[in-house]
Amino acid sequence: MVRWRAGPRGGKVKTAKTSTKTLQPCVKYVREEEGAEVSRRSAPGLAARAVACFFAAGWGPDWGAVAEGAFIRFKAFRTPHFLETPSAMSTSTVTMQPDTRIALVTGADRGCGLEFCKQLAGLGFLVVGTAKDAVNAQELNELAKESQNKVFVQQMDQTKEDEIKNLAEALRARNYRLDLLILNAGVAEHDHPHAPPSKLERRELAELLDVNVCGTASVVKHMLPLVQESQEKKVVGVTSKMGSMEEAMGDKPYLSAGYRVSKAAENMLLRVWARDPTAQDVTFLLLHPGHLKTAMGEAGGREAPLTCEEGVKQSLEKVVLRCGRQESGQFFNYDGSELPF
Ligand SMILES: NC(=O)c1ccc[n+]([C@@H]2O[C@H](COP(=O)([O-])OP(=O)(O)OC[C@H]3O[C@@H](n4cnc5c(N)ncnc54)[C@H](OP(=O)(O)O)[C@@H]3O)[C@@H](O)[C@H]2O)c1
């Protein structure tokens, strides 16, 4: 039987309606059976949880399940398509066949990441799209709403180790295995791609490295056990040919040093993972998705030649779904050709 008990007061959570910077006190409830913690803040949310707790504690397992199911539906009504409690899978309408392939895409609220979610769902994957501000990830939430339980939204700012770890634990509690982990989240300089190396500030470089390298490293570290328990076992780093040393050997000036450094480091990180003795069952692929019409791709007044739809379609067909263990550690262009490091 499921029981909830109130934990220590005074945790902090982001509010749903105000800016992501606003923090409000909350009560933490601890699910005793599975040891997982969730945070609630609103009065209606607390009331619903109290009802669930009351029924679960005193009125037998059937009433407890009914009350908890009602709470989950209430939560889904408020913020649709969030999988919140570890039992959400069993009480929601999600059906997972043993051969359902699951993909997790980071930075999925817009651009290339959103397109990966759309196309992977179309290919039959169950998709978990993560966003650094999931509540306000409007397009991703709409996609999830229309997807008939093929796409789910989860909170994950990859500069926050605890968010990454919590998500990995929550996925494990629901028996999710990750057939495909798409490491898409990324940032570039504020004046990308025109930033000369002389203008590179230490602070901005640190921020780029924090998201693109440290964040990616943490996501791989915490999600890898779930990948290793899946059928397909693939990790795809959406890096960039701007991170290629060899591509930067011509005689023209090369700008965006910070972004280039971070993408070169991301390439090396995944190359090292591909040779790690503990991960020899996993395929690590490094992908340049093409120069795409996204906020990043068209930053600085550029016009990108490829739509996200086309770049992602080709990337999936010619790299992600085609390549296997023998290609692990290699760096590919979206059209399937190999790129130099
Ligand atoms: N577009 C291109 O031409 C191109 C070419 C080569 C490689 N790439 C790579 O492709 C990937 C996607 O790029 P894009 O063009 O789609 O860029 P984009 O439109 O700028 O999207 C970047 C995504 O990363 C997310 N993100 C940023 N910081 C994050 C953090 N701390 N935690 C979690 N997510 C975070 C953003 O979330 P918010 O919306 O919350 O900021 C957004 O979803 C990037 O890794 C990029 O380097 C793009």
Where in the sequence is the domain holding 11, given as residue range(s)? 4-81
Q: How is 180-233 classified by DSSP, letter by letter?
A: EEEE------TTTT---GGG--HHHHHHHHIIIIIIHHHHHHHHHHHHHTSSS-
Q: What is the mean pLDDT of the chain?
A: 81
pLDDT at 171: 96
* Total tally of structural domains belonging to the chain: 2
Query: Which ligand 1 atom lies nearest to the CA of residue 259?
Result: 47
49-53, 113-117, 171-175, 310-314: which has the minimum mean pLDDT? 49-53
Q: 193 and 138: one domain?
A: yes
Q: 206 and 314: one domain?
A: yes
Residue 98's pLDDT band (cuts 50, 70, 90): confident
Query: Which ligand 1 atom lies nearest to the CA of residue 304?
Result: 3
Residue 127 lies in a domain: yes
Residue 159's pLDDT band (cuts 50, 70, 90): very high
Q: 30 and 144: one domain?
A: no
Residue with tokens 């399937």: 336
Q: 134 and 168: one domain?
A: yes
Residue 267, ligand 1, Cβ within 6 A: no
Q: CB-based contacts of 252: which residues, under 8 Å, 6+ apart? A: none
Q: 294 and 238: one domain?
A: yes
Contact 71, 96 (CB under 8 A): no
% of the chain residues with pLDDT over 70: 72
CA 3 / ligand 1 centre spacing (Å): 40
pLDDT at 80: 39
Residue 268 lies in a domain: yes
pLDDT at 49: 54
- The mean pLDDT value for 267-276 works out to 98
Q: 152 and 193: one domain?
A: yes
Instruction: Answer yes or no: is pLDDT of 86 > 80.
Output: no
Which residue pairs, CB below 8 angstroms and at least 24 apart, start in 52-60? Answer: 52/4, 53/3, 53/4, 53/5, 53/29, 56/1, 56/2, 56/3, 56/4, 57/3, 60/1
Contact 117, 143 (CB under 8 A): yes
Residue 258, ligand 1, Cβ within 6 A: no
Give strand pairing partners of 30.
5, 37
Q: 186 and 278: one domain?
A: yes
Residue 89 lies in a domain: no
Q: 127 and 273: one domain?
A: yes
Residue among 298, 294, 139, 158 nearest 237 (CA): 158
Q: 65 and 211: one domain?
A: no
Contact 238, 216 (CB under 8 A): no
34-43, 49-58, 270-279, 298-307: which has the minimum mean pLDDT? 34-43
Q: 134 and 172: one domain?
A: yes
92-96, 155-159, 163-167, 256-260: which has the minimum mean pLDDT? 92-96
Residue 211 lies in a domain: yes
Q: What b/e sequence results for 189-216 when a residue is b if at least 16 CB atoms lie within 10 Å of its CB, and e otherwise?
A: beebbebeeeebeeebbebbbebbbbbb
Residue 39 lies in a domain: yes
Residue 238, ligand 1, Cβ within 6 A: yes
Q: 124 and 45: one domain?
A: no
Instruction: Answer yes or no: is pLDDT of 117 > 50.
Output: yes
Residue 31 lies in a domain: yes
8-22, 157-171, 324-338: which has the minimum mean pLDDT? 8-22
Residue 237, ligand 1, Cβ within 6 A: no
Query: Looking at ligand 1, which residue's alpha carbon is closest to its atom 13?
Result: 112
Q: 37 and 176: one domain?
A: no
Residue 189, ligand 1, Cβ within 6 A: no
Provide Rg for the chain, Cα atoms.
21
pLDDT at 250: 86
* Selected residue with higher pLDDT from 61 and 215: 215
CA 258 / ligand 1 centre spacing (Å): 15
Instruction: Answer yes or no: is pLDDT of 131 > 70.
Output: yes
Phi, psi at residue 182, to the nearest 5°? -105, 110
Instruction: Answer yes or no: is pLDDT of 20 > 70.
Output: no
| Domain C-terminal end among 51, 81, 111 | 81
Contact 243, 174 (CB under 8 A): no
105, 163, 294, 306: residue to mutate for ligand 1 pocket, most atoms within 8 A of CB? 294
Query: Looking at ligand 1, which residue's alpha carbon is closest to its atom 20?
Result: 296
* Selected residue with higher pLDDT from 297 and 249: 297
- The mean pLDDT value for 184-201 works out to 95
Residue 86 lies in a domain: no
| Domain C-terminal end among 46, 81, 116 | 81
Residue 97 lies in a domain: no
| Selection from 29-38, 251-260, 270-279 with the highest mean pLDDT | 270-279
